[in-house]
Chain A
Amino acid sequence: MSILLNKDSRVVVQGITGRSGLFHTQQCREYGTQIVAGVTPGKGGIHIEGIPVFNTVEEAVRYTSANVSMIFVPPPGAADAILEACDAGLELAVCITEGIPVRDMVLARMIQEKSSTRLVGPNCPGVITPGVCKVGIMPGYIHTPGRIGVVSRSGTLTYEAVKQLTDVGLGQSTGVGIGGDPIIGMNFIDVLRMFNEDPETDGVFMIGEIGGGAEEEAAAWIKEYMNKPVAAFIAGVTAPPGKRMGHAGAIITGGKGRAEDKIRALTDCGVAVSPSPTRMGATMLELMKGAANKA
């Protein structure tokens, strides 16, 4: 097992006829992903690269039994695309689109939370189970099948981390880019919980960055529930305090969000935090060796 994706995942691409939608559809298919359908309103009935295109997700599901969606719909229609995926009863919707207005996502998230569809993203690199299935824009070649779960708020920094893991000989069970937007579907804790229960995951590498309180909440959850080793990296240790207007954000987060606060919270909860972005793989390797020796 892995989490979220496996060899039976059947993927529908929403926004398949757009430039990046089509490019990444091809990339995913080359990686081995079963792309069974595409959706572009108004273009139902055509085939693109041999893939049947439908007007609605519902139709795509009816004719192809798709159970996972990959969304490339541009920002004005992206929240609607998420809702459509939920309405069609898909198991998982992975939204790659960057730049969806907050107001749209507040509504989409409210409906999605109550549905049976899991949402990853938006504004994320996607999900990959190495060697099996890729639903996203990450480069496939840096990944290796293995037993480390990866969860990240960042895009390209995740690639850096995964490459380092692969280089030190640690393959990955599943990589999940949860996205960097203020409103996202699955958060760190949702993914950590799945890795905790996945028999094919032995440890987790987590990538966070400054801002918000998600890493602190994850740290508290890890301390309480996680029974597998976790290593982490937090980007932005040297970031200068940003220019800002207004106080509301600081009031809600209670002044959390600095890298040092996150690193302290994670360290206090037993997470091995990599001191440098060049040592992410090495930190995970040392942690796994230590865990193996203890066992």
Chain B
Amino acid sequence: MMSITSAAAAAAAGSPVYTPLVSRGGRRSRCSVRAQASEQKSLEIMRKFSEQYARRSSTFFCSDKSVTAVVIKGLADHKDQLGAPLCPCRHYDDKAAEAAQGFWNCPCVPMRERKECHCMLFLTPDNDFAGEDQAISLEEIKEATSKY
């Protein structure tokens, strides 16, 4: 609503319509640069965690690496928003409460106890979808997640 009224006011005053747009664009890009930096950081943290945990639990990433990439991106997003890498493959009534409670924070309790990851991030070798990799690069994640 704001944008339309301000644009209409600018047009009525006879000033160039693009003036408010430019300033808003600048502010937005500065904010997004800062947000991107923190996003990048969580993405890198979650990528390293996934590699490390896969090696430690002797599990493997999915043979379709885009699944792995999307899940890591989801974990990073939750880490940014909620402060904890809540599992992105569940529906929660209250995400913040779940993150505080911790049962579904990655690695979740079923994963730690029984190596069950329904997100298909950590797959045991006998799983049909398991690949052979325990490593994923940041480029792979960025390429796979840019499609969505």
Do A and B share a complex? Answer: no
Q: Which residues of B contact A (CB under 8 A)?
A: none
